[in-house]
Every structure is written in C-alpha cells, then in structure tokens.
Amino acid sequence: MNLTAILIIIFIVLLFGIIIAWVSKKYRTNEDPVIAQIDQMLPQTQCAQCGYPGCRPYAEAIAKGEANINLCPPGGEETVKNLAQLLHLEIKPLEKTQESNLTAWIEEDKCIGCVLCIKACPVDAIFGAVKQMHTVINKECTGCDLCAPVCPVDCILMLDSEALAKKTL
C-alpha cells in the first residue's frame, strides 16, 4: 500500500518534471523581457542622440546596465521618470534637453533632390527620388533631426506644431 503510494507520487513528480523541462525548452525566449518594456517607454524617434544607433539598441544597453537612463532628450523627464520606476533606479536629470514635438519641413524650392535625407530618415518619413523634389510626410515624422545635418543645401527646417500649421495653411 505504502509502496504504491510512493510509486504514484514518484511517477507524478517525474511526469511534471518532464512537462516542465519540455515547456521550458519549447517556449524559451532568447530575449530579456525587460528590453521590450524599456523599448516601449522610449519615444521611438530613433534619433541616436543617446549614442546608440536606435531606441532598441539603447534599450538593450540600459537592460545590460551599460547605459544611463537619462540619455534620451526627445523622451524628456517623463521617460526618465518611467524608466527609473521600472528599473528601481534613481531619477537623474537629463544630460541634454530638446524641444519636443518638432517636425521636419523641407523648403521645397531649395531642394536639389540628392536623396541624402531619405537615406538618413530612420522611419521612412521622407518621400522623393533622385533629382526630384523631396517632401516630409508630417504625420510620420518623429522630429529626430537626423535629416537636417546631412542636407547639402540646408533646406530642412525643424518646426514646432504652430509654425508647421502656418506652413501647411
């Protein structure tokens, strides 16, 4: 009687052990879930002002503990606060700040159609072709300011919403 009970229990334990082993193998994620959470908090402007090539690499660096949480100017203090809360770190002041809600605007009569800005845009928000006038898709622009420095004729302006509304009037 005792023996059967012990056997049954051993069998159940083994069964669960096998199931657990199988599940952990089958559904293993190679990725740290914290990275996705951090990535979600970042403003996804892909501006690379933090020193990393995009928001995701920055998130990975934060998760590894390589980067500070106060390197994201477009996110502002709000993002620093959220990150600090998530990672149980102290809130630090931003390294550098940036005016938020900017949108790129191409002065179309000056544009020479060099496609340099199109290549620089991380979110494909610039539309145009070689030797054709380019234009910014306002709705998609994240205001990362990566296109302005590469323009050889300096025809890209960074506008706030009010100035943009006047331009598009």
Partner 1 sequence: MLTTLKRFFSPKTQPSDNKIAPLTPLLPPLLPSKLYLPLYNERQLYLQAKVSISQHILKNQIIAEGIEPSALLHSPVAGTVLDIIQHPSCSSPQKKVQTIVIQPSMEDPWKDEPTLPLNEEIIYSQLALLSEKKLEILHTQLEKSGIMGMGGAGFSTIEKIKISHRKAVHTVLINLCECEPIISCDQGLSEQQPEEILMGTMSLLNCIQAKQAVIIIEDNKAIAIKKLQSYLQNYPHITLKIVPNIYPSGHEKQLVSYITNTTLTAEEKPYDLGYAVFNVATCYAFYRACHLGEPLTQRLITISNGEKNINQWALIGTPIIELLDAQGIKYDSNNQNLIMGGPMNGLALNNSHIGVAKNTNCLVVLPKNQTHTSLEKHSPCIRCGECVAVCPSNLLPQQLFWYAQAQQNEKSEQYRLFDCIECGNCAFVCPSKIPLVHYYRQQKKDISEKKLEQYKIQIAKERYEKRLIRLEEKRQKHQKMLEQKRLQAQQKLAQKNKQKALQPTSENSSQEAVSAAVAKARATALSRKNKNQSKD
Question: How many residues line the site for partner 1 (CB under 8 A)?
Answer: 17
The per-residue b/e assignment along 95-122, b for 16 or more CB within 10 angstroms, e otherwise, is: eeebeeebbbbbeeeebeebeebbebbb
Q: At 33, is the secondary structure helix, strand, or coil?
A: helix
Contact letters (x/-) for partner 1, 96-135, by CB under 8 A? Answer: --------------------------xxxx----------
Contact letters (x/-) for partner 1, 2-41, by CB under 8 A? Answer: -------------------------------------xx-
Measured torsion, CA atoms of residues 29, 54, 41, 123, in degrees rounded to the nearest 10: -110
Nearer to partner 1, 55 or 71 (CB): 55
Contact pick of 38, 50, 55, 69 for partner 1 (by CB under 8 A): 55
Nearer to partner 1, 54 or 128 (CB): 54
C-alpha dist (Å) from residue 12 to 17, 18, 21, 26? 8, 10, 14, 21
Task: Work out whether 45 is an interface residue with partner 1 (CB under 8 A).
Answer: yes
